[in-house]
Amino acid sequence: MSAPPNPYTVRRIVKWGECDPAGIVYTPRFLDWVLEAAESFFAEVVGVDWFQLNQKYGLGSPSVSVKLDFRKPIQFGQPFTIEVLVRRLSRSTITYAMRGRNGAHELCFEAELVSCIVNHAQMKSVAIPDDIRQPILAYQAATAAVLEKDAAA
């Protein structure tokens, strides 16, 4: 059996301005990074960035739930990655599972982000349009083995 495709991954290096005086990442920055990773995923995998989602479709993708679990500190100057997976896709929500790893590939944090697709004019959830849903479903199916492997571990 072949290995599952690699998850969509965002690569970064910790900047000094993202740290506290001890050189350890300031906690609120993790939420920024998780949201940036979701936005990048949407643009690259779905093919629609959040600006286009807003302007072309009249939709938004506000966060409705976020969970962050910290495993190891990340410090100034360290390279790290955020892997983005899709745990669940419902009528109007996307549940992302994300993992932050340092340069040694050690797990540093895990995040779960739930975003809801809403109509701006009505400020109500709407069904995710099919041309947005399909690439997410394809990605979710292609990377499902990664989540299954994690659940079994």
Question: Mind listing the pLDDT tens digit for each residue in 20-55?
Answer: 998 999 999 999 999 999 999 999 999 999 999 999
- Coil, strand or helix: which one is 139? helix
pTM (global) more than 0.95: no
At residue 6, the pLDDT reads 87
Sign of the C-alpha dihedral, residues 11, 16, 19, 22? positive
Q: What is the pLDDT of residues 112-152, one digit of tens each?
A: 999 999 998 999 999 999 999 999 999 999 999 888 777 66
**Residues 13, 33 contacting (CB under 8 angstroms):** no
Integer angstrom CA distances of residue 1 from 4, 145, 150:
9, 11, 17
pLDDT averaged over every residue in the chain: 93
DSSP-derived 3-state class of residue 146: helix
- Ordered by start, the domain boundaries in the chain are 8-152
CATH topology of domain 8-152: Thiol Ester Dehydrase; Chain A (3.10.129)
Statement: residue 153 has pLDDT above 70: no
Determine the Cα–Cα distance for residues 104 and 106; give it in Å rounded to an integer.
5
